[in-house]
Amino acid sequence: MSDRMLTMSEALREAMAIAMEERPEVFILGEDIGIYGGAFGVTGDLYHRFGSERVRDTPISELGIVGAAVGAALSGMRPIVEIQFSDFTAQAMDQIVNQAAKIHFMVGGELHVPLVLRAASGSGTGAAGQHSQSLEGWFANVPGLKVVMPSSPYEAKGLLLSAIDDPNPVIFLEHKLLYKIPGREEVPEGAYRIPLGVSRVLREGKDLTIVATGIMVSRAMAAADELAVEGVEVTVIDPRTISPLDMDPVYASLENTGRLMVVQEAPEHGGFLNEVIALVATGPALGHLIAPVVRLAGMNVPIPYAPQLEKAAVPQVNNIVAAARSVVADWR
Amino acid sequence: MSDRMLTMSEALREAMAIAMEERPEVFILGEDIGIYGGAFGVTGDLYHRFGSERVRDTPISELGIVGAAVGAALSGMRPIVEIQFSDFTAQAMDQIVNQAAKIHFMVGGELHVPLVLRAASGSGTGAAGQHSQSLEGWFANVPGLKVVMPSSPYEAKGLLLSAIDDPNPVIFLEHKLLYKIPGREEVPEGAYRIPLGVSRVLREGKDLTIVATGIMVSRAMAAADELAVEGVEVTVIDPRTISPLDMDPVYASLENTGRLMVVQEAPEHGGFLNEVIALVATGPALGHLIAPVVRLAGMNVPIPYAPQLEKAAVPQVNNIVAAARSVVADWR
Amino acid sequence: MTTIPLLTGNPLESNVHARYALLTMSRIRKLEEAVEDLFGRGMMHGTMHLSIGQEASATGVCMALNIDDQITSTHRGHGHCVAKGADLTRMIAELLGKENGYCGGRGGSMHIADVATGNLGANGIVGGGIPIAVGAGLASKLMNRGTVAVSFFGDGAMNEGAFHEAANLAAIWKLPVVFVCENNGYGMSSSTELAFAIDTLAERGLGYGIPGYTIDGNDVSAVYEATQAAVQRARNGEGPTLLELVTYRWKGHSRSDKNLYRTKEEIDEWKTKDPILFFEHLLKDKGMITDEEIAQVHAEATSQVIAAVNEAMKGVPADPANLLDAVFKKVSA
Amino acid sequence: MTTIPLLTGNPLESNVHARYALLTMSRIRKLEEAVEDLFGRGMMHGTMHLSIGQEASATGVCMALNIDDQITSTHRGHGHCVAKGADLTRMIAELLGKENGYCGGRGGSMHIADVATGNLGANGIVGGGIPIAVGAGLASKLMNRGTVAVSFFGDGAMNEGAFHEAANLAAIWKLPVVFVCENNGYGMSSSTELAFAIDTLAERGLGYGIPGYTIDGNDVSAVYEATQAAVQRARNGEGPTLLELVTYRWKGHSRSDKNLYRTKEEIDEWKTKDPILFFEHLLKDKGMITDEEIAQVHAEATSQVIAAVNEAMKGVPADPANLLDAVFKKVSA
Ligand SMILES: Cc1ncc(C[n+]2csc(CCOP(=O)(O)OP(=O)(O)O)c2C)c(N)n1
Ligand SMILES: Cc1ncc(C[n+]2csc(CCOP(=O)(O)OP(=O)(O)O)c2C)c(N)n1
Ligand SMILES: [Mg+2]
Ligand SMILES: [Mg+2]
């Protein structure tokens, strides 16, 4: 079955193909998604399979594209927009935030916007400050948007199918380092759906609860492997969707571990995973803490170009290991 | 001296006039800031005093305006951009986030961007979902931006003068309900500067530490007055700038009170004041907490139109009083 | 009755059409006057953008559309909404923040939409509706629906990037879209002379390969004719058209406007070009209507608006209790 | 020496000018080849956008500018940077992530700026530099500097809202700005035929009241002439001009391009229109240069690039230690 160890690109492509076969109202639009196959190769051969109307190449006009998707969604379609780099959502923020997110509410339910916006997110490819951001925090603070951060090919396929089904706008942030790497789990061939708003516990351990998002999930898992050798047992939780956010497994785990670490790539100052900390600190889970919370996040810098700088700017496996080791050692 | 009990509009106008007199490179640009005097009347008569070149009316082109300001700033000017409603920063996000915030860093220091972007923020005027947002969280999570949230006319003038002096891009978010109300403090006539990155302790009390931003500072102060009558003594801290964020007075206060409340208008989920909670929960201040943190924030909804809905959507004085009363009563 | 069914055709096609066009313009005018009054009496929250003086453009455009043709509208959208066939009671109820308002009190004046009449909504964002109309046109094309999407926007909106990107997409994909620019001379205080370096805004179509026409926006029949041709072109798969409808707003931009950027003389001169009076004169010249009938039409409009206000007043104020539930559409639906 | 001082004037004005233009184009070509080589050898991180085939546009434009005239550039910006007078060593050092690179290793290929030569920077955002150039032009006007700001951008960038808003601002304020669209036929995989519904991109100026001209972008002298006229117009306070320079990129869009959207024949045909060879032939026809001199020029370019690479290699790798300090300019400064 190792032929089902797909990359995230392959898994996403399968999800889109299934959705397009299931529903005539699903179509994809974006820059270079046609013959080119997508800036990261995600749409691949879909253009040849579904034609240029449903896999629709656009000019370089992010605001126009997202706006057109909003209008199509209001008119009964289910568009999937691909934005090449999540950084370019900046171009389309009005349509995302002032239109898509709010229309259903503002018009009193008369309309809704079943739209998926997929974008490549995160650093690690040497593309520097304007092509490497982790912007999930912007969208998470906008009521009316759902925000998904798949951490593996398996998750990506199941979550994308749910996102396409959802009658609301969904921001789907794909870490670009995951596109080309086969996952550690088989990806089932047909359709399966992972509900939005359900966290996944990837690993259970009694010493520390790690909540990580996107690419940091695999780094946390790698760190957990290393830590296990030293006898430090770690729980790793992947929220999968940050809006809505499912905290129940975190609370449950903290009852056992008493120690919490959050790990995100986005800049630390004002970053989204503060929400996890806040929910713990404002509720009964606070009483279970036996140590200060550990926060690992991107440095408060634009992502730099040179590889040694770029690596230093965001948490790596060794940073997670070191921080975990010391919080467990220092707080008994 | 009561003629110096200015409104925030007046205080901001004075700051801009002083800066324009001090430096020829300061100029203002924005929609309807000329003869009209600004959507909220902030620029007022500056057009008549400084002329149409330095108080420059623009077409409705937020992205173009902010971009032009970036280019002018790179060329030795100190532009002040007025965006009528902070919601329309969505139109200009690329220039704010991908350009202004990052240029100094990305070009290795060759250039810098001394730019102030002023925008009317927040709800309370019945303007509904697209004219009432509190978007500080977006900017706070972008390294390279400073973010100011004045809570009174006095603060506004001194902070704006510092923002104009600053060689970096500053996002200056003015709550629209403050524009027309005279402050509780005299505004000195000449130039004075309040440094960016220094919190202000407005009131000291032993029972509870409240950190509030923008319009919530005055609500917290009003709540503190009410609570004082009941014998509940509250410290109120206004960070004034959320990037950079000065936490020292918060930590100091928590040593006495052991109880923390944060109050913001922005939607709760992923909102900026989570940063304050996170900094407390990740450090030694956690040890001083004797109660779960209380978080009061906007509901996770777009700001609604009808007055009764709009009020319900964001914290009011009575909500602060009630929450303070119970955290003090319940955790002794 | 505070709704009337949409009638299509040239306002001069028959006496029935003429009466319909006049009634529609009158209903818009009376509604706007009622809104101003409610606002003045402190019964309405927020702000308001009145379209008094611009009734012919909304009416003429919508008479060229079928009920399932779609529109996107603007902050100055009451007229478009009425002309497309909305219920005046639900409109006013919305302004009063009532449960039975179009938006259940959640949107107010700038966010009224009406699925039944193809109205995809007003918009508080200048230019915000333009790409949305293009998307509606794209949906029509993808699904072979034969419907057209019309985007109303102001002169000011034309300088937003949203216009640009939307116009180009519609042009290259030959979408069934009509771009209707209501050029009332000002974007808030900013005159078209200062905001553009071209003679007519219709010229802006040139840069996209979109034919553009400048029309007297106060002549409801001329507006209809131009729109009808554009709609036909769109339905034929020949792509979008840009219509510049030259008109004027009599009132300030919004409640806080002191009209410092324009003269009283200019306003007065435009009042002599009242689209309603102009149409009445035209009809009388053609012997299509009598003074008595005209008075009747206005009386009917007035009574509809009064009925709508009275009915709306009885509505239940919107309830904060269910706000959180209203943010997302339920997944099951 | 890996810099040469900027020379202005028509490439055909004198033998010195001719030699300078040829040398500049050759330096660009050799630099790009070196970049491709470094990339291929795994010594360079990230991606690269090569301007091979487009050397005449960068060179011809910059020969119409003074050192204090400003430019904004693009992701495909090495040529502009070289033509405006940048130091090849610091450019390559940047690509190698060295402290002595233009950006101290923080920006890489897409963010090189050079204050000394008026280069406000490459840009990773398509269209991002266009409004910035308008702001530079505004600063020039406000301060009466007499300088001009040139914005380089691609055909693809013209469909971004940023172009639209910037163009209109420059037009209404009559700013000293020149919009230089390097139309190489494609925005990544998207051909101008598919992305535009107009015949020439210069027509897009019409909608703003900006004169537009379509020029052979592979003819360095024609590029100079057109730019010179536009610069003159700008300096005279007559406002902006749009120049469409028709050219072609020989290489893929970036490292990951498989060229599926265009044919080998098309690429080969454009290679016969090599701007460097074209210029050499022209000069030889005019008797302004000999084969030997041509070989000399290329040898000089090659040796400069080799020297730059060697020098850059010796640089110290950028140090993560001070990253946090580099985000804000110090307030005291
Ligand atoms: C993106 C954006 N910028 C600014 C505003 C503030 N604003 C509201 S209406 C308006 C003027 C619009 O002018 P125009 O498009 O000509 O329409 P009109 O009001 O004349 O009908 C402005 C500037 C806004 N709502 N949205
Ligand atoms: C806002 C934005 N959208 C998309 C991209 C991805 N992208 C980079 S270059 C490019 C093509 C640009 O085409 P053009 O402007 O013609 O310049 P060329 O590459 O042909 O020189 C694209 C789509 C980007 N960098 N920025
Ligand atoms: Mg107007
Ligand atoms: Mg191109």
Q: Residue C59: helix, strand or coil by DSSP?
A: helix
* For residue D255, pLDDT beyond 90: no
Q: Which A residues 33-72 touch C at CB under 8 Å?
A: 53-54, 58-59, 61, 63-72
Beta strands in chain C (DSSP E): 70-72, 149-154, 177-183, 186-187, 190-191, 212-216, 241-246
- Under DSSP, the state recorded for D69 is S
Q: Look at B143 and A267 and tell me if their CB atoms are within 8 Å.
A: yes
- In whole angstroms, what is the distance from residue B70 CA to residue C91 CA? 43
d(CA D228, CA D222): 10
Atom of ligand 1 nearest to the CA of C154: 15
Ligand nearest, relative to CA of residue C165? 2
The answer to whether the CB atoms of C320 and B130 lie below 8 A apart is no
In this prediction, residue D256 has a pLDDT band, given cuts at 50, 70 and 90, of: confident
Show the domains of chain A with their CATH numbers. 8-178 (3.40.50.970), 200-330 (3.40.50.920)
ipTM passes above 0.90? yes
Confidence of residue D333 (pLDDT cuts 50, 70, 90): very low
Cα–Cα distance measured from residue D277 to residue D218, given in angstroms and rounded to the nearest whole number = 10
Q: Please report whether residue D323 resides in a domain.
A: no
- Consecutive H or E run containing A87: none
Query: Which chain B positions have a beta carbon within 8 Å of C111's beta carbon?
Result: 128-130, 305
Element (H, E) at A57: strand A55-57
User: First-to-last CA distance in chain C?
Assistant: 32
Residue D130 in any domain: the answer is yes
Report the percent of chain D where pLDDT is more than 90: 96
pLDDT (tens digit per residue) in C124-178: 999 999 999 999 999 999 999 999 999 999 999 999 999 999 999 999 999 999 9
Q: Answer whether residue D201 is part of any domain.
A: yes
The beta-strand segments (E) located in D167-207 are 177-183, 186-187, 190-191
In a domain, D157, yes or no: yes
Q: Which two tokens stand for residue D92?
A: 């390559």
Predicted confidence at residue C131, as pLDDT, reads 98
Asked, for residue D5, whether it belongs to a domain, the answer is: no
Mutation target for C interface from A106, A139, A145, A168: give the one with most C CBs within 10 A.
A106
Average pLDDT over every residue of D88-96: 98
Q: Minimal Cα–Cα distance from C118 to chain A, Å?
A: 9
Domain count, chain C: 1
| Per-residue confidence band for C333, with pLDDT thresholds at 50, 70 and 90 | very low
Q: Is the CB of D208 less than 8 angstroms away from the CB of C207?
A: yes
Contact between residue B214 and residue B122 where contact means Cβ atoms under 8 Å apart:
yes
* Ligand 1 pocket list (CB less than 6 A): B 31, 60, 62, 84, 88, 91; C 49, 75-76, 124-126, 153-157, 184, 186-188, 253
Q: What mean pLDDT is predicted for residues D11-23?
A: 98
Annotated catalytic sites of A, by residue?
62, 131
Residue C292 buriedness (CB in 10 A; 0-12 / 13-18 / 19+) = exposed
Pocket test for ligand 1, best of C74, C75, C246 (most atoms within 8 A of CB): C75
> For B194, what's the count of Cα atoms within 13 Å in the CB-facing half-sphere?
24
> Which atom of ligand 2 lies at the shortest distance from residue A130's CA?
25
Residue D316 lies in a domain: no
What is the predicted pLDDT for the residue at B2? 66
Q: What is the pLDDT of residue B332?
A: 86
For residue D332, pLDDT over 80 is answered with no
What is the least distance, in Å, from the CA of B134 to any CA of chain A?
A: 10
Closest CA to A171 of A238, A224, A242: A242
Structural domain contains residue C7: no
Lowest mean pLDDT of B73-77, B252-256, C224-228, C253-257, name the range: C253-257
Kindly report the CATH number assigned to the domain that includes residue C55: 3.40.50.970
Q: Which residues of chain B have pLDDT under 70?
A: 1-2
Rounded Cα distance, B86 and C125, in Å: 12
| Res C255: pLDDT | 84
Residues of B in contact with A93 (CB under 8 A): 89-91, 93
Cβ–Cβ of D134/B68 closer than 8 Å?
Answer: yes
Is the residue at D3 inside a domain?
Answer: no
The mean of the pLDDT values for chain D is: 97
A330 CA to centre of own chain? 32
Q: How big is the CA angle at B126 (ends B122 and B129), to the nearest 5 degrees?
A: 60
Q: Which ligand is nearest to the CA of C188?
A: 1
Residues C73, D242: Cα–Cα separation, whole Å: 33
Q: How far away is chain B from the Cα of A152, in angstroms, using its nearest Cα?
A: 24
Closest CA to D125 of D102, D164, D156: D156
Looking at residue C1, its pLDDT comes to 61
A326 touches chain B (CB under 8 A): no
**Segments of chain A scoring below 70 in pLDDT:** 1-2
pTM: 0.98
Range of the domain at D269: 15-309
Within 10 Å of residue B290's Cβ, how many Cβ atoms? 12
Give the per-residue pLDDT at D1. Answer: 61
Cα–Cα distances in Å, from A251 out to A258, A289, B277, B285, C224? 10, 10, 17, 21, 63
Query: Nearest CA to B275 among B305, B254, B250?
Result: B250
Residue D46 pLDDT: 92
Cβ within 8 Å, pair D135-B167: no
Interface with B, mutate which of A274, A295, A327 (most B CBs under 10 A)? A274
- Centre of ligand 3 to C-alpha B182, Å, is 34
Q: A169 at the B interface (CB within 8 A)?
A: no
- DSSP assignment of B11-50: HHHHHHHHHHHH-TTEEEEETT-STT--TTSSSTTHHHHH
CB contact under 8 Å between C139 and A104, yes or no, is no
Tell whether the model's pLDDT for residue C88 goes beyond 50: yes
Q: What does the pLDDT read at residue B88?
A: 98
